[in-house]
Amino acid sequence: MRLIEKIAYITFWINVFFVLFIFIMPVIIIKIPGSFDLLTANKGLNPYNLIFSFLYLGVAFHWGYCIWFWYKNDKYSKSIFPLLFLTGLYAPLYYYRVKIKKRPLRNKISKPIQIEKEDNSINDNEFIELTRKNIIGVLQLWTSKSEQLEYQKSVPIAQVSAELFGQWDDYYTPDAEVMTDAFTTDELRLLDDFEKELTERANKSNSFLPVIEEYIETDDWKALNSLAKKILNELK
């Protein structure tokens, strides 16, 4: 493993710890009397803030690595948007998906000539089938409360509420030619309806989504869950 890859992996865990630290810090301040004074002592020049600054450097490196990796290997995906707007909150999720889980990278999929030279190359029919399977898979995830909760349980570092939106953005590419091969005109219209509803709900949330255990109780989740079930029945 190259040095930069080793550093990226180490900073991935630093980033995860940093995110957890951000979320538990208000609890620590509330639950432990005097903790806020310790954090602000000596005008912030104390061991606690120095540790925080060190962690932040790791987060900044990891986020920069993810941006670089996206540009080099995955720039046909829409992951750049949460990477830019959610920065260190989304970077470990992106790294987990593309480096650890090794989801298909959009640069490779979008360059057929390069794919033909690789051992893992796929032909046009396989790509069409994969595109349809991926989109239907996201819809199936949206329809199942139990699968979403199990997903969160199996991958504790994931923010499944955001992941539901992120996976749809990754796989639904309405302008791609393959979409007209993978779906009929009526099916594309259904997918467009889901895209519009998803976008409206995302804008309404202002990029802030509660944890999945809370999100499944909201009207937004229930509306998208119901629409996903309806569309999935039509696609089948």
Write out pLDDT tens, residues 112-165.
444 444 455 668 888 899 999 999 999 999 999 999 999 888 888 888 898 899
- For residue 189, the model assigns a pLDDT of 95
Report the alpha-carbon distance of residue 85 to residue 90 in Å, rounded. Answer: 9
- Asked if 224 contacts 198 with a C-beta cutoff of 8 angstroms, the reply is yes
Place of tokens 């030279």: 117
Please state at what angle helix 3-31 crosses helix 47-73, rounded to 10 degrees. 140
| pLDDT number for residue 206 | 67
pTM value?
A: 0.51
In this predicted structure, what is the pLDDT of residue 148?
92
Domains of the chain by residue range: 3-104, 122-235
Looking at residue 112, its pLDDT comes to 46
Q: What is the pLDDT of residues 59-96, one digit of tens each?
A: 999 899 999 988 888 888 888 888 888 888 888 899 99
